[in-house]
Structure formats: structure tokens, C-alpha cells
Structure 1
């Protein structure tokens, strides 16, 4: 997910597009803790590997650690892996969780409209999944609590404006959100 206005993976020094080991376009620019691209050569945070297949509880645990560390963009990458590799019947759940993490990312970056919108969209997706599946606590997660947390945060982001502290606002994926 490149930010609008970035070079989308083009090394300005050479004009060549960055590629990963498999030849796919992938920006090699370092990123900050909220996933924003930094200039080439800058010191960024370690990126999440993409395409990792994890057990659901491993996904939840890894994402929680990233959220607690104030890295919701990186947690989104973990959820996105589960969304893409998980069973078809759980994809709406993982997509919704990825949207919650991206919503928190946007809110932490100061994008009030995008943050609130994605938090609400993610809340709706996890609730929709829970209603359709009949599973109230998938992989130990409190989806009702997560949806409530997301909607409350969306309202605060809109009413207060500005950015939020991603680590302080991190939801509890298991237990009470």
C-alpha cells in the first residue's frame, strides 16, 4: 500500500522500479513505524515479511504485539496475510481486522476522515462476519468489543481531530477491547 504522492517504488536516483526477490514491484524505501515511506538511505523500522502463512492464534498474537508497539500499519500486513491465505469462510473477518489496523494507522497519521471511515468499515466487517458465521469469539477474539472500540475511536478522532497515539489506542484483540 503506497501512500498517494510517493514515488510508488521508483528509485529517484536511477528511475528504476524497485523489485523483490521474485521480480514483483515492491518499494525498497524504508518506512517509519506508521508505514510512511522515508527517503532512500534513511533508517526505518523493520518491515513485516509478506505472504507469511500463520496459524490464526499466531496471527492474532503477532498483530497484538505490533499494535501494542504502536505499529498498526505492520499489524495490518499480518492480518492481510491471513486474509489472503486463510480459509474462504474467514476472509471477511481478517479483512475487517486489517481495516481496523489501517484505520488506526490513518488516525495516528492525522487523517481524520480516512481513519474514522476505515475504523467503521472494519467494525462492520467483523460484525458481519460474526453474525453470518455464528462464531462470537473467533480465535479468542472479542469481535463485539473490537467493533465497539473501533466506533468509539472513530467518534473521538472526528470530534477531537488531529492524530492519536497508536500504541495507547491499541485494541485488545483477545478479552476486553
Structure 2
């Protein structure tokens, strides 16, 4: 009997990540959820039979500990989804550098740390998929339209994003269908 595939969702909450956790559990995958506040995941862990691990993705030691815990429990993840983002919105003329830096640490640097940790393990095993998701909702306007197309937002501006639902191979496929076809955004 083969062991079920494992999905790790970093930045788990009640939106997209919860929907993905349900989808992956329905598909028979083992699910690990990571968030800074795991208390909010109690219902979801019960519903999906997932484990929840506390992790601040902007901290290298916490990302390493997260992957160690998932590997001890399930083995190397087959799929890693990064949904964490630091949210900070402000007109460009009033941005506070420290708040922007903090948001970018979660959104971009955290995405890098998680992707690197996943790639290291997946390369050793010879396979795996890494997905980085981002917000696509546009909000607000900026008085400096020549510089930006809205308020400065940090969601995934510093990291790769997967916002579309189709591809050249499967133009009308949803993320669910793309996973079923194993069309990988990052192939290892």
C-alpha cells in the first residue's frame, strides 16, 4: 500500500487556504497547516484531519522547524502552498518604512524561505510541487497614478504569484483540475 501524498499549506486561514485544505483532504491527501496563530485552525483541522503547526514564515528557524515537524509526521511534502502575506496598504507618500519592511518579510522573504526549504527536500526526493499564491483584489487609488496602479499593496508583489486559473496546456482548468493533471508551476 502506498502512502498518501502530503500537502503543506503555509499561511493557513479561513479563505483560499481553507478551501485548498478541504480539497486536498477530499483528494485523499494528508494535510499540514501552518500559521502564526494555530488556534484559528481548530475547526479546519478537525474537518480535514490535518495537523496544525505554529510558524512565522518570516523566521528561518521557524520554517526549518515546520518542515522538520511535517517530515516527522508525514514525510517530505508532495505539495507546498504558500498563502501567507503581510498586509500593509497606504498611499505612497505616507508609507512607513518599518511597516512595509515587516509586510515584505512575510510576503516575499517568507515565500522564499518556504520555497527554499521545500525545494531542498523535494530535490533530494526527486519530485514535488511548490505553489505561491497571492491576492489579486485591487483596492483604493493612489494620487501618483504614473508610479502605481493603486495603493501600495504588499501581497505577493515581491514574490511569484499564481493568480490565473488556466494555462496553455489546460486553458479552462481550475486550480483543482491543474493539480489533478499534475501540471506543476515549479517542477522538481
* TM-score calculated relative to the size of structure 1: 0.29
Greater RCO between the two (CA within 8 Å, min separation 6)? 2
TM-score norm. by structure 2 comes to 0.28
More strand by share: 2
